[in-house]
Structure 1
């Protein structure tokens, strides 16, 4: 990296169930205003904006940001499946680091419908079809929704390879609820036990119950990024900066291998984490707090290993030892994660960023991870893309 990139401001609106939120443009505008106010930067100073969403028409970013101002700045609309928000962060960081910009705004928003994710372009090949065919080839049952097949299949693979019990996934979901109870912006704040999770509606016998899956959610979040020089010249907060970042896509193992974890992005995450640790010059052992993509409890479990938080096959012990929560080696998803905070897809990566910046500032309230100095973010989308980001204070 040639120029240090600072996260000068973050903002996020409370996440809501579908039908209970404002429209995407109002949510996006409010999140942008919150991030600008947090940074102490006027919208007129922003040199470029990245608007992140997947369920919306072209130039939805303009519709949202025109509420904030119409300054003729370039607005780039970003869609990279569930890693969309982090891809926007990646693009802004890259432009600032290269010297093309000094200050940028990244905003993510999503206005979702209830129920399982749907598709809107059924008259042409779907990117996910390749991954569903791999699930078919590797024997995943066909009578469940596609996302459950992909991520549940990854969990089933871990169970087969390492003897991981269903209760490990239930413990992850219970942990998420305990964390979310302290997050006023989370959509689900009710604490549930692992026994509650196991007793919930069965979605895939022996593999998944309903509480192990994240809900469709509406919401928005935003961040202001700038060069360290710009921040110092304008008296902005320089405490939190991006130490390393990587964006990866699938390798041949995702569609040609014999491991269902790779269909869900395990290989992408592992390689992105490797790049980040090499660039930053520090490893997983130095991380204090993590926000990772727990769209299903199963994905959180396999991601522990992909990020090097524990050895491959060691996730069950990692969970049982409490090394994924307060008092353990790492605090994973102090926000409540996607499972409890919610997953408005375009906003997810920016909500993760918001949580980690607050943690590194020591401003996370009851969720605060004591002594947090190094934070890791993981955001993955099938199809596929994975972004891993390391922040430092």
Structure 2
């Protein structure tokens, strides 16, 4: 273990629909300046910056950071699909933990286009061709968006394996909307009933429209530092990263299971590594921000993270153990389903929410007695980052 890594400042902008947001560099700069102000430090104190985004030209990270300051520091552009934001966080954490820097900025942003995600390059091998091969072998293709077919296929597999009802997935979306209604940064603040969610157009069984995350624009940022830097600046009582792990696909990802193909084994391995490193288990956690790009992924992730046993997600949901008054509060922000999913910003928006929760500063969303928080951010292709946070 290296040095302790403190998260001394966080910030984000309100997430917006494509076409309604500001330019990526403006959003990113606002998030970064907010995080700096939150930390009470100047940009001149920052020694490195990791800038995460998926869609954009090379060196968009520099263009975004230049809005904050022109100090000549290294700016590293990061792209790891939907886990890009937490990958930037991972690299920033490594720099502090390894003694390579004292104060680092991680910023994530995305200016997305309308419509479902699709490949931008048709003249070269797709980075998810192995995942597509699994889907083709297990269930074939249809006209639905490819990611909906992948995660929907995992939901089907879960239903067939454990006999779960389609409404189980709808209840996850209902919970997400309820939580997001109290989040001023969320894209969707309107509460929806289970009936409305289940009656919305089917995208790919068992997923309906309101069970799929929307294309979103936004930005979020975090300032990380060492204990020595914090003492020098008179900063105390910070939230810190107790453990963090990143995994990529295993051989099991490309067998005959849609659940494993979408990242179950990556998530389980990363979570197990974090529990071992931190000396804490899921039973010590009060609040979780997890990657609910589709309701099916939230369901299987409950089990991958050890929040409930395999095959018991439906019981877990029915008993209210995923919301206020239950064992955990999952996605108090509204999650990707309702807060929105600007790919490069998502991981750092999750970080921001959890830091607020551990500070007791989440206002109407506050989880009572939150002391330990868990973050899960997944990208197909594949990468999964799991992070455990604590507060002094």
Task: Select 2:381's aligned residue among 380, 383, 392.
Answer: 383
> Is the contact made by 1:39 and 1:237 (CA closer than 8 Å) also made in structure 2?
no
CA shift for structure 1 position 207: 1.2
Three-state SS of the structure 1 residue aligned to 2:388 is strand
The one-character-per-residue Cα deviations of 1:350-371 (angstroms, maximum 9, x if unpaired) are 0000000000000000000000
Alpha-carbon deviations, 1:174-215, whole Å to 9, x = none? 0000000000000001000111110101112x4111100000
- Which residue number in structure 2 is paired with residue 139 of structure 1? 139
User: How far does residue 280 in structure 1 lie from its aligned partner after superposition?
Assistant: 0.5
Q: CA deviation at 1:121?
A: 1.6
SS of aligned partner of 1:36: helix
Quote how far apart the aligned CAs of 1:239 are: 2.2
Deviation per CA, 1:66-104: give whole Å up to 9, x if none.
111110000000000000000011111011101011110
Aligned equivalent of 1:44? 44
Query: For the residues of structure 2 that align with 1:192 and 1:14, how far apart are their CA atoms?
Result: 20
Query: Which whole-Å CA distance do the structure 2 matches of 1:38 and 1:191 have between them?
Result: 30
Shift of 1:216: 0.2
Residues 1:185 and 2:173 aligned together: no
Aligned to 2:95: 95
Contact 1:268–1:385 under 8 Å retained in 2: yes
Aligned to 2:25: 25
For these two proteins, the number of residue pairs brought into alignment is 391
C-alpha separation between the residues in 1 aligned to 2:343 and 2:290? 14
The 5 Å alignment of 1:1-393 reads: 1-204=1-204, 206-255=205-254, 257-393=255-391
Length-normalised TM-score, structure 2: 0.99
**Partner SS state of residue 375, structure 1:** strand
After superposition, give the CA deviation of every residue in 1:260-301 in whole Å (9 maximum; x if it has no partner): 101110000000000000000010011000000000000000
Query: 1:230 offset after TM fit, Å?
Result: 1.0
Separation in 1, partners of 2:176, 2:84: 23
In 1, the alpha carbon distance for the partners of 2:13 and 2:224 equals 19
| Distance across 2 between alignment mates of 1:140 and 1:194 | 29
**C-alpha distance in 2 between matches for 1:375 and 1:290:** 6
Shift in Å, 1:237: 4.3
Superposed displacement of residue 315, structure 1: 0.2
TM-score of the aligned structures, taking structure 1 as reference length: 0.98
Offset at 1:140? 4.1
Q: Contact 1:6–1:238 (CA<8 Å) still a contact in 2?
A: no
Return the offset for 1:118.
2.2
Cα distance in 1 for partners of 2:2, 2:44 equals 26
Give the ranges of 4+ consecutive aligned residues of structure 1 lying more than 6 Å apart after TM superposition. Answer: none
Structure 2 distance, partners of 1:14, 1:263, is 32
SS in 2 for 1:108: strand
Greater shift in the superposed pair: 289-298 or 127-136: 127-136
Whether the 8 Å CA contact 1:140–1:149 is kept in 2: the answer is: no
Counterpart CA distance in 2 for 1:24 and 1:277 is: 35
Secondary structure at 1:185 match in 2: coil
More deviation in 172-181 or 128-137? Answer: 128-137
Q: Deviation digits for residues 215-241 of structure 1, max 9, x if unmatched?
A: 000000000000122112111244200
**1:290 touches 1:375 (CA, 8 Å); kept in 2?**
yes
Distance, in Å, in 1 between the alignment partners of 2:313 and 2:227 is 38
- Given that 2:139 and 2:153 are in contact with CA atoms closer than 8 Å, whether structure 1 keeps it comes out as no
